[in-house]
Chain A
Amino acid sequence: MTKYLIRRLIIAVPTLLGISLILFVILSLAPGDPFSELALNPNVPVEVRENLRRQLGMDDPVHIRYIKWLTSLLQGNLGYSFVSRVDVTQLIWQRLPTTIFVMGTAYIVALLIALPAGIISAVRQYSWLDNVATTLAFIGFSLPTFFTGLIFILVFSIYLRWLPMVFTTNVQATGPAWFLEVLRHAAMPIMVLALFEGAVLTRYIRASMLDVIRMDYIHVARAKGLSERAVIVRHALRNALIPVVTIMALQIPGIFTGAIVTEQIFRVPGIGSLLISSIQLKDTPVVMAIVFAYAVLVVVFNLIADLAYGVLDPRIRYD
């Protein structure tokens, strides 16, 4: 296991290098100067700009620039935001907790929807319950999150006036009132993400359960006289969840990027809305850093998915 972990980590390095190279090539192929914003700003004197250019190595040949960018990246230095005048790292750390709170809760809600729906769908395959769940799941992942978000705002904020339209992290209350207020603000972004992810997960759980339920050991469990509940929960579900856990780990980076849209609709001050606003403000270092951070997430969660598979399924042998 340790040997496998080390080998997988070593494979992850060239992938990350490759991604950083692709990003860098895209950036350097782009015509125009990422510093043009700075050049247009009359408040920045020419000498300062030239100094900054030299400091950041903008006048070096491409391969030198790449190596410089990579070394500073490895030192944990993601650069300096043109617009907010703070370190990009600091900017990202400010936004990260909000994103993780909304996404994490959404994913838990998604699981709470998908687990029962997927299991019932598979156990009672082709029953009306299965048909309803399957149709709803199809509707769920065909509805784009930006449309569900707008519908939610329309229904819950404009018509019913139950929930605030705009998310805020700055809630002025204490105790249970605080919790309730946070919930009111986060409810819509969480539900939009949860419904979409829940629909996708339902399909996976159903498919995986259907594969397992046909196995001989399920017949054996029934033949032993176990209750149906024990057969489904203890024998079928535990095995069916192995591939589902892997898929969940692989989905997590996708949820992060899916959150870009949700954060934009509800003005959630997370990583995604930072990316969009940085694009609008042409704040290249921040854009590059966030895109690279997303890529790192993908690689890390691929690794976690691989390892989880081995931990959960003792039949998998490495080496």
Chain B
Amino acid sequence: MVAGRGFATGTVQTAEAALARPPRTLWADAWRQFRRHRLAMFGLAVLAFMILATVFGPLVYPVKFNEIDMTQRLKPPTLAHPLGTDDLGQDILARILFGGRVSIAVGLAAMFIAVTIGTAVGAVSGYFGGTVDHVLMRVTDLFIALPPLPLLLLVIYLFRDPVRGVFGPELGIFLLMVTVIGSLRWMPVARLVRASFLSIKQKEFIEAARCIGVPGFRMVAVHMLPNALSPVIVAASLGVAAAILQESTLSFLGLGFPPDMPTWGRLLFDAKDRLDMAPHWAIFPGLAIFLTVLSINFIGDGLRDALDPRRVG
């Protein structure tokens, strides 16, 4: 704010400054609110670091993740191998950097699928109402009753080999995992979108839009969906963390990616039987999962504070 010398000129100047200032937008307000959340900003910094490290790290870091060196087996952290080596003498830092790409990509892709399905189901349900709504919500209830982890295990157990045959071992298991995690996580999004749609439908601006003849699809996409986004963004951010955890859990149980795809969970799975000789092998990938999930959870909390208009203050 511009400081005025006298009171009267001050107000005039402030008023002029206020007019000259760009208008405050919803997203700018949300960002201002978000910045006040210290833990969320910490989370954002850590997550940005993790993403940059996994995207650019393997390009910068000279050691390859699958370079086997039997003379350097199970070595604790040294200058040559900052995070130590595994039982084949492979560099753990390189493996974490490379595997992180897969872990984070699984989280993002699975959540993208979940948000797409959830938004579609919720929007159709809330917009049309009536029988459509009733049927879709019964289906949502049914999916909520499905136990996610056992079902994931079952589907991967049954479909792992055939999918591998069609798409190759890496892409196949990636597609399978992302699809299954995504299609078991859309229900909360669908409920949130439906609830928002039901209340937005009653608003005057929708009536106004209907009066000037806005067609159905445009009504949903332009007038209703943007107003239902806030809870979806929060749910989606927390969902990414949950999806990363789910992938790690599956890989840790030995039912995820093959050993040549060193996702963080897979690294822990390989390391768990050598805890006594090479604790670093388990600790660093575990820390990577923990820090990523923690930072996403903090960001989700900050987004909830920033995007919920009832909590302004």
Contacts and interface: CB of A to CB of B under 8 A. Distances in A.
B148 interface: yes
B155 A302 contact: no
Given A19-B145, A142-B241, A276-B253, A150 B272 contact: yes
A153 B153 CA distance: 25
Interface string B271-305: 11001100100110010011001100110010000
A143 B290 contact: yes
A40 interface: no
Nearest to B157: A279
A19 B142 contact: yes
A31 interface: yes
A47 to B, nearest CB: 28
A291 B151 contact: yes
B157 A287 contact: yes
Given A142-B293, A158-B276, A279 B255 contact: yes
A268 interface: no
B268 A147 contact: yes
Given A146-B248, A261-B249, A299-B145, A275 B153 contact: yes
B167 interface: no
B286 A151 contact: yes
Contacts of B155: 26
Contacts of A297: 147
B161 A260 contact: no
A253 B248 CA distance: 20
B145 A32 contact: no
Nearest to A145: B249
B29 interface: no
A257 B148 contact: yes
Given A264-B253, A295-B147, A302-B145, A279 B153 contact: yes
Contacts of B161: 32
B162 to A, nearest CB: 5
A260 B149 contact: yes
Interface in B182-238: none
Given A139-B294, A146-B249, A26 B158 contact: yes
Q: Name the residue among B138, B145, B282, B297 with the largest chain A CB count within 10 angstroms.
A: B145
Interface in B146-192: 146-151, 153-155, 157-159, 161-162
Contacts of B286: 144, 147, 150-151
A210 B217 CA distance: 41
A267 B267 CA distance: 19
Contact of B279 (A142, A146, A154, A282): A154
B96 interface: no
A295 B279 contact: no
A30 B305 CA distance: 44
Interface in A239-262: 253, 256-258, 260-261
Nearest to B279: A154
Contact of A22 (B146, B272, B275, B276): B146
A260 B290 contact: no
Contact of B293 (A15, A26, A144, A299): A144
Contact of B142 (A18, A143, A291): A18
Contacts of A158: 275-276, 279
B257 interface: no
A114 interface: no
Nearest to A158: B276
Q: Name the residue among A14, A32, A135, A150 with the largest chain B CB count within 10 angstroms.
A: A150
Interface in A102-159: 135, 138-139, 141-144, 146-147, 150-151, 153-154, 158
B275 A150 contact: yes
A147 B268 CA distance: 8
A298 B249 contact: no
Contact of B282 (A19, A150, A290): A150
A31 B162 contact: yes
B106 interface: no
Given A253-B147, A291-B151, A138 B297 contact: yes
A298 B147 contact: yes
A257 B150 contact: yes
B149 A141 contact: no
Nearest to B165: A31
A177 B105 CA distance: 50
A225 to B, nearest CB: 31
Nearest to B291: A142
A265 B272 contact: yes
A287 B154 contact: yes
A160 to B, nearest CB: 13
B94 interface: no
11 contacts: A22-B142, A142-B241, A142-B294, A144-B248, A144-B286, A144-B289, A146-B265, A258-B149, A260-B149, A261-B253, A290-B150
Given A147-B282, A260-B253, 12 more contacts: A23-B154, A32-B158, A138-B39, A142-B290, A144-B293, A147-B286, A150-B268, A151-B283, A158-B275, A260-B150, A290-B150, A295-B146
Interface of B: 39, 138, 141-142, 145-151, 153-155, 157-159, 161-162, 241, 245, 248-249, 252-255, 265, 268, 271-272, 275-276, 279, 282-283, 286, 289-290, 293-294, 297-298, 301
Which 4 pairs show the lowest CB-CB distances between chains A and B?
A: A30-B158, A142-B294, A147-B286, A294-B147
